[in-house]
Amino acid sequence: MVSHKSPATQNISRREFVKHAGMVVAATSAISIERLAHAEGREGFRVGLIGCGGRGSGAAANAMNAGKDIKLVAMGDIFEDHLRGARERLKQMYPDQVQVDDEHCFVGFDAYQKVIASDVDVVIIAAASHFHPVMLKAAVEAGKHVFCEKPHAIDVPGLKMAMAACEEARKKNLAVVSGLCWRYDYGVREAMKRVLDGAIGEIVAIQETYITTPYVVRPRQPGWSEAYYQFKNWYHFNWLSGDQTSQQLIHSLDKASWALHDRPPLRAWGLGGRQACLDPKYGDQFDHHAVVFEYDNGVRVFGYCRDIPGCYNETSDIIFGTKGRCYLPNKPRIEGEVEWQYTGPKVSMYDVEHKEMFDSIRAGNPINNGNYMFTSTMLGILAQMVCYTGQLITWEEAMQSTHSFSLPRYGFDIDPPVKPGPDGVYPTAVPGITKFA
């Protein structure tokens, strides 16, 4: 049995972790000589896109929606067809803003380095989640402002790298904006402001539900290597995505963390497995998770995630307080002693996060979302840990994890860390047998 730790011990551990990562969350932004990353005297922004799938293409569009002076000038992906298709679609949508010539279309596992090395001011990172920490680190080292999709890491060593990059960005006065998009939704913001101001009293519990159908799969084609197939279907392989706790439930856990002032829980435990999605096309992930996070003040957060066809679907957040309840994310409302419903404008949160990023750079006070990027990403990692192992794991213990999904080399010829068995089925974690590391 994993031992329980006192709140004081847990808090010390968090400080030690932050120290190790090189990040001081409470530090204020220091104005440096690198005040703006884009060339002095140049109007507008030159943007480079790393990862040209659906989310990357969408993020590039959201960036260009933030101003006519924002130009997409470089793109990179490990798959040429993804890159070419994205460039064509975006060029049709933004003929004057997409200015990516053939010389700035980079293909391969080093494409991200070439995009960063291009004459760009802002980098959009939306590749397979496995690579986010390395790409974020490289972009900040090169003095670029960054929009980075969630999750920001899928293991603790990667999270330490990402958070050290956020602190370095703070010192350089560079923007780091997170793809945890609900922080930028107007209705959710208004509701959360009221919750934090006490509209529902003291929070006693939060229910987070993200139950839906499996993400898109790409059929295996003749001639594909095993590595090529897994990179094409990265979302369904744990070593590339971090499973659904980091891909989907993280959005829900981020809202719960927001309501709780982004402080970490004491510990967590959970249930999970692979029950219905047994076809090899679903990779090695679980198809259901249920997680309980226990906080030092007695609050519990209950997180539910499921990706099984033919089931009831719901994406919702319910925050229970001593004086009422708050319902998110659609049609945000509060019931209880205070009755309230959001009636303001509905604006794309994806557009808002980019608009606010570029506005902050123009104002010389770039946004840095590093604080909640750390906590919410770690919640997703911890959720996977407890579901895969079947153990109760404290926050402190989780933050000391040395398990890394990183590989010494990348390519379509590598031997991937998980391979199908004789029956074609990929092995997965087994609670009670899989060990915490």
5: confidence class by pLDDT, cuts 50, 70, 90: very low
Answer yes or no: are the C-beta atoms of 145 and 361 closer than 8 Å.
Answer: yes
Neighbours of 323 (CB within 10 A): 13
Token output for 49: 């896109």
Q: Report if pTM > 0.95.
A: no
Segment 71-86 mean pLDDT: 98
pLDDT tops 60 at residue 30: no
C-alpha–C-alpha distance, residues 172 and 36, integer Å: 9
Residue 286 has pLDDT above 70, yes or no: yes
Q: Which two tokens stand for residue 405?
A: 């999904």
**Where residue 88 falls among pLDDT bands split at 50, 70, 90?**
very high
Do residues 389 and 435 touch, judged by C-beta distance below 8 A? yes
- The answer on pLDDT for 359 being more than 70 is yes
Q: Contact at 8 Å (CB) between 397 and 50? A: no
What does the longest C-alpha to C-alpha distance in the chain come to? 63
Across 121-147, average pLDDT? 98
* Mean pLDDT over the full length of the chain: 92
In this predicted structure, what is the pLDDT of residue 43? 80
Q: Which amino acid is at 263?
A: R
Residue 27's pLDDT is what? 35
The pLDDT of 109-134, averaged and rounded, is 98
User: How many Å apart are CA 409 and CA 419, to the nearest integer?
Assistant: 17
Rounded CA-CA distance 339/274 in Å is 41
- Tell me how crowded residue 36 is: count the other CB atoms within 10 A of its CB: 18
Question: Above 50 in pLDDT, residue 261?
Answer: yes
Of 36-50, 77-91, 113-127, 194-208, where does mean pLDDT reach its minimum?
36-50
Tell me the per-residue pLDDT of 187-198, one tens digit each, with 9 for 90 and over.
999 999 999 999
Buried b (16+ CB within 10 A) or exposed e, 115-125: bbebebbbbbb
Report the alpha-carbon distance of residue 405 to residue 154 in Å, rounded: 8
What do you get for the CA distance between the two ends of the chain, in Å? 15
Q: Which pLDDT belongs to residue 42? A: 63
Nearest of 368, 431, 402 to residue 152 by alpha carbon: 368
Report the pLDDT value the prediction gives residue 38, as an integer from 0 to 100: 47
Q: Which residues contact 17 (CB under 8 A, 6 or more apart)?
A: 160, 399, 400
Identify the pLDDT of residue 37: 41
For residue 14, the model assigns a pLDDT of 39
Nearest to 315 by CA among 375, 256, 249, 259: 249
- Residue 354 has a pLDDT of 98
User: In this prediction, what percent of the chain has a pLDDT beyond 70?
Assistant: 90
Residue 394 has pLDDT above 50, yes or no: yes
Q: Are the C-beta atoms of 373 and 181 separated by less than 8 Å?
A: no
Asked if the model's pLDDT at residue 34 lies above 70, the reply is no
CB 140 within 8 A of CB 172: yes
What pLDDT is attached to residue 6? Answer: 33
- Per-residue confidence (pLDDT) for residue 50, from 0 to 100: 98
Query: Is the model's pLDDT at 87 over the cut of 80?
Result: yes
* 146-166 pLDDT, tens digit each: 999 999 999 999 999 999 999
pLDDT digits (tens, 9 = 90+) for 198-240: 999 999 999 999 999 999 999 999 999 999 999 999 999 999 9
**What are the residue ranges of helices labelled H in 143-294?**
156-172, 186-196, 226-232, 238-241, 243-247, 249-259
